[in-house]
Chain A
Amino acid sequence: MSIVEEVLEITLRSLAVSGTATLLASTWSVPLAYILAKPGRLRGLIASILEALVGIPTVLLGLALYMLFSRSGVLGFLHLLYTAKAIVVGQAILVTPLITVTACRVLKSARESFEEMALALGADDLQAMAIALRESLPGVASSVVMGFSRAVGELGIALMLGGNIRGATRVLTTAIALSVSMGEYDLALYLGAILVAISVLVSVTVKLLEEVQGP
């Protein structure tokens, strides 16, 4: 395999792994954000806990999940360790607080301004929720983009749960770490440029899609 092919393979794996992780996290983070977007003591408490967890060190989460997935861990029987699936699970957990907290902020103002109006005009709960979600779609989309950016750029989980195995679990960040440890700074910077380009491209694409669909 040539170096170009290998870089391409690693790039596609990064996209697939972090993309899946982000979408997976969104399926529970956005509904959770919607629930939390209403005033309440318990809701407030959960929201502050999630806010604190936004910056959790990836290597810490990686270690905790490693202990779970290890042969001698509670979930060892799943044989997830050192597979791409393990990275997906880890990154999905990692970005959950970020997506929830940021989406919650947008949904809060949408619920305040539209939901009550919709209810007052005779909409039922579900219809009101649909309106609130639709109105805050751009904001929720950027939460998801932020989640993707955090997932694709994290190193600790991919390294500890994936193992940086060539042709199996090597992603852009672990490949960068490897190049740096080998003293191949040029390759590391090149891979880094791809990583940044992907994040920017995804973000810009989502913005463009919003404008096309815009109100």
Chain B
Amino acid sequence: MIALGLTAYWMFTPHVVRVRISTTTSLYQTGLLDRLAERFEEKHHHVTFEFIAVGTGRALKLAERGDVCAVFVHAPRLEEAYVERGVIVGGRIFAYNYFVIVGPSSDPAGIRGSESAAEAFRRIYRAGEGGRALFVSRGDNSGTHVRELSIWRLAGLDPQGRPWYKEAGQGMAETLVMADEMMAYTLSDISTFLSLKEKGRLTNLEVLYSGGEELINIYSAYVVESCGGAERMYAEEFIEFAAGPEGQEIVASYGEEEFGRPLFSPAASRLQELKALWEKLAGAQG
């Protein structure tokens, strides 16, 4: 009887496909993915997206273990390694924005007006050695951390082990709060910084250096090769949607009402250029 009931229940309940997607905390916390998923679900009633927000390293690891069906990440070098091993396929660039160097408004290292990010880092290094500045690093092999290390390399410096260089080993929001408390500099994605600033959690930090191709932050989406069936079909469709005209429109305007400016730029109009930059980042950061 119970078995019959359960079978009937299963047969007559509209079957909902759950699509699991792992992503980085910084992207997830902006709410962009939820907005994209909401729109997608409006048209496809029997699909529901479940986002697992973790560090980029773990997001890709979850893909490798087959625990998720898609990944939305921003670390070209790490992505490249998993693409090469055939774990993730069908990469699409769907958004980009820029990293910013933030620090105390008093700017003890004087990085305002630096000509490049590497130059700004050199100034921080000098001020650090002189005991006038601190730098908090993510230190967690995240997309942001990987980028920070490549800027140090561009600057020809190795800050590791220096007393003023603090490796936090935590997420972006925690690292920003630490930098704010310590009156230190750090590298952040613009969206996490703005959302924390908006919440009043950062009283000392300001954007001191921004712009430039060297600080571009490229977000890509992939399907996990080991995923199959309806889940994979919807995962592929969702990625198409995010990179397609409707998704790109959402990307272009997202964040305007809350932060007064969009948090991301749509990738579609600059795709060739972004692909070249992505290749460069995937290869150059070792």
Kindly identify, within residues 34 to 71 of chain B, every residue whose CB is under 8 Å from any CB belonging to chain A.
Answer: 54-55, 57-58, 60-62, 64
Contact of B161 with A167 in the complex, beta carbons under 8 Å: yes
B140 touches which one: A163, A168, A181, A185 (CB < 8 A)?
A181
Contact of B61 with A183 in the complex, beta carbons under 8 Å: yes
Contact of B167 with A166 in the complex, beta carbons under 8 Å: yes
A residues contacting B by CB (< 8 A) are 1, 70-72, 81-82, 159, 163-168, 170, 174-175, 178, 180-185
Contact of B168 with A163 in the complex, beta carbons under 8 Å: yes
B170 touches which one: A70, A72, A159, A183 (CB < 8 A)?
A159
Q: How far is the CB of A158 from chain B (nearest CB, A)?
A: 11
B172-196 vs A: 1/0 string, CB under 8 Å? 0010001011100000000000000
**A165 cross-chain contacts in B, Cβ below 8 A:** 166-169
CA distance A178 to B171 in the complex (A): 9
**A163 cross-chain contacts in B, Cβ below 8 A:** 166, 168, 170, 174, 178
Minimum CB distance partner of B181 in chain A: A71
CA distance A208 to B61 in the complex (A): 43
**A164 cross-chain contacts in B, Cβ below 8 A:** 168-170
Of the candidates A71, A178, A183, the one having the most CB atoms from chain B within 10 angstroms of its own CB is A183
**B170 cross-chain contacts in A, Cβ below 8 A:** 159, 163-164, 178
Interchain Cβ contacts under 8 Å between A and B, 12 examples: A71-B180, A71-B181, A159-B170, A163-B166, A165-B167, A165-B168, A166-B139, A170-B169, A178-B169, A180-B58, A181-B54, A183-B55
Given known contacts A165-B168, A183-B58, what 4 new A-B pairs fall within 8 Å (CB)?
Answer: A159-B174, A175-B169, A181-B58, A181-B171
Contact of B61 with A82 in the complex, beta carbons under 8 Å: no
Contact of A181 with B178 in the complex, beta carbons under 8 Å: no
**A72 cross-chain contacts in B, Cβ below 8 A:** 203
**A183 cross-chain contacts in B, Cβ below 8 A:** 55, 57-58, 60-62, 64
**B169 cross-chain contacts in A, Cβ below 8 A:** 164-166, 170, 174-175, 178
Minimum CB distance partner of B61 in chain A: A183
Minimum CB distance partner of A69 in chain B: B181
**A70 cross-chain contacts in B, Cβ below 8 A:** 181
Contact of B166 with A182 in the complex, beta carbons under 8 Å: no
Q: How far is the CB of B73 from chain A (nearest CB, A)?
A: 12
CA distance A182 to B60 in the complex (A): 9
Of the candidates A82, A159, A164, A184, the one having the most CB atoms from chain B within 10 angstroms of its own CB is A164
CA distance A181 to B182 in the complex (A): 24
Of the candidates B60, B62, B64, B170, the one having the most CB atoms from chain A within 10 angstroms of its own CB is B170
Contact of A168 with B55 in the complex, beta carbons under 8 Å: no
Is B30 an interface residue when CB atoms closer than 8 A count as contact?
no
Q: How far is the CB of A210 from chain B (nearest CB, A)?
A: 39
With known contacts A72-B203, A166-B169, A168-B166, A185–B61 Cβ distance under 8 A: yes
Of the candidates A163, A167, A174, the one having the most CB atoms from chain B within 10 angstroms of its own CB is A163
Q: How far is the CB of A71 from chain B (nearest CB, A)?
A: 5
Is B141 an interface residue when CB atoms closer than 8 A count as contact?
yes
Q: How far is the CB of B215 from chain A (nearest CB, A)?
A: 23
Q: How far is the CB of A173 from chain B (nearest CB, A)?
A: 12
Q: How far is the CB of A196 from chain B (nearest CB, A)?
A: 21
With known contacts A71-B181, A81-B181, A166-B139, A182–B168 Cβ distance under 8 A: no
A182 touches which one: B62, B140, B167, B180 (CB < 8 A)?
B140
CA distance A63 to B139 in the complex (A): 22
CA distance A106 to B41 in the complex (A): 59
